[in-house]
Amino acid sequence: MTDRLTQLQICLDQLSDMFFASLSYVDQNHAAVRLTEGDEMLPDPDHNPPSETEFKANLRELTSDIILKTKQILTIIDTLPGVGVSKDEQLKRIENLSQELAEVERLKTQTLRRKEELGSIVDDLIVQASEGIAQTRD
């Protein structure tokens, strides 16, 4: 699972692709129109646009997809941390988290020191036990 910012970026990329695809579809499949009444319409044998009904149905589908993607983006934005929280509140939270992190780091350092001390004690006990075993075999 990706984080929300990555999801947002992916959705924005998909939305821009959808916009491009929609514009390309309209550009390539619209019916020809005269710009002015005097213009002559030249037929293009290579251009076979869909029927007007099919064209409009495809446009509705494209717009529906764009609307759904936009709603998905808005949902992701609403779930981002900090939405609806003032700058001062965010800074205070960051400060509290920094203090909490410093305390955890201090405890970690103490624990590592204690681990080293206990390791040294265990090493000494092992040496004493092995020396005691060696002396009893003599």
pLDDT of residue 15: 98
Please indicate, yes or no, whether residues 74 and 128 belong to a single structural domain of this protein. no
Please indicate, yes or no, whether residues 65 and 104 belong to a single structural domain of this protein. no
pLDDT band at 21 (very low <50, low <70, confident <90, very high): very high
Q: Which domain holds residue 55?
A: 1-80
Please indicate, yes or no, whether residues 48 and 90 belong to a single structural domain of this protein. no
CB 30 within 8 Å of CB 49: yes
Contacts for 66 with CB less than 8 Å, ≥ 6 apart: 15, 18, 19, 22
Please indicate, yes or no, whether residues 20 and 73 belong to a single structural domain of this protein. yes
Please indicate, yes or no, whether residues 32 and 57 belong to a single structural domain of this protein. yes
Please indicate, yes or no, whether residues 70 and 103 belong to a single structural domain of this protein. no
CA atoms within 13 A on the CB side of 51: 3
- Total tally of structural domains belonging to the chain: 2
CB 50 within 8 Å of CB 29: yes
pLDDT band at 11 (very low <50, low <70, confident <90, very high): very high
pLDDT of residue 138: 67
Please indicate, yes or no, whether residues 17 and 49 belong to a single structural domain of this protein. yes
pLDDT of residue 97: 95
